[in-house]
């Protein structure tokens, strides 16, 4: 079958389902440019979008949106600055507390060292006193023991002397009884009287 020749009314692209162009559109399409659609037949879409943006910006300026934005940002900046100042003051307080506690720890270490040194001196003094007291007590006890020993010796010597005197008296009595009789006593008495 022979194909029908293309008419100017048909689409150049040859795609099925495309509607044929008519009028001005067909002429511009036949050239190389497309015709732009117009809003209400007056303005192109770029002009409408630009005009909308200008109107939106003018409304935002009229309602004071930039002031609201800048005041919000200024409030946020002021809040951040106050937080920074608080952080600085808290850091300064923390540093002061750290220094104070470091000083307290150093003083406590010095106090502990002095207490230990004082306790060491007291312990040495107590040990020296205990040694002196022990020496004194030992000397006193030795003297008491020697006194007791001396008293015991004297008591023993006195007891021995008295026992020896009694024994000697008993022995003399026994000797006199055995060696001397009444006749011998008379002779001795007579002899003594005669010597006078």
Contact present, 25 and 12 (Cβ < 8 Å): no
The domains of the chain are located at 47-178
Q: What pLDDT score was predicted for residue 23?
A: 45
Tens-digit pLDDT profile for residues 40-64: 667 777 877 888 899 888 887 787 7
Measure the CA–CA gap between 29 and 38, rounded to whole angstroms: 17
The DSSP bridge partners found for residue 43 are 39
Is the pLDDT at 98 greater than 60, yes or no? yes
Q: How many CA atoms lie within 13 Å of 7's alpha carbon, on the beta-carbon side?
A: 6
Measure the CA–CA gap between 27 and 30, rounded to whole angstroms: 5
Instruction: Please tell me whether residue 43 adopts helix, strand or coil conformation.
Output: strand
Tens-digit pLDDT profile for residues 99-135: 999 999 989 999 999 999 999 999 999 999 999 999 9
Q: What does pLDDT average to over the chain? A: 79
CA dihedral 14, 20, 22, 26 (to 10 degrees): -20
């Amino acid at each position: 079958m022979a194909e029908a020749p293309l008419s100017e009314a048909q689409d150049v692209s040859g795609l099925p389902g495309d509607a044929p162009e008519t009028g001005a559109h067909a002429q511009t399409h036949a050239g190389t440019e497309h015709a732009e659609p117009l809003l209400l037949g007056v303005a192109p879409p770029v002009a409408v979008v630009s005009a909308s943006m200008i109107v939106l910006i003018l409304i935002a300026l009229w309602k004071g949106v930039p002031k609201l934005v800048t005041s919000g940002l200024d409030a946020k900046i002021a809040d951040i600055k106050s937080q920074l100042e608080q952080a600085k003051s808290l850091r300064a307080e923390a540093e002061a507390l750290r220094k104070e506690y470091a000083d307290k720890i150093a003083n406590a270490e010095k106090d502990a060292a002095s207490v230990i040194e004082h306790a060491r001196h007291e312990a040495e003094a107590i040990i020296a006193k205990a040694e002196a007291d022990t020496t004194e007590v030992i000397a006193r006890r030795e003297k008491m023991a020697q006194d007791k020993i001396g008293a015991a010796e004297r008591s023993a010597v006195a007891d021995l002397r008295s026992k020896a005197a009694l024994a000697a008296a008993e022995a003399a009595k026994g000797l006199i009884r055995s060696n001397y009789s009444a006749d011998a006593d008379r002779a001795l008495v007579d002899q003594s009287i005669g010597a006078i």
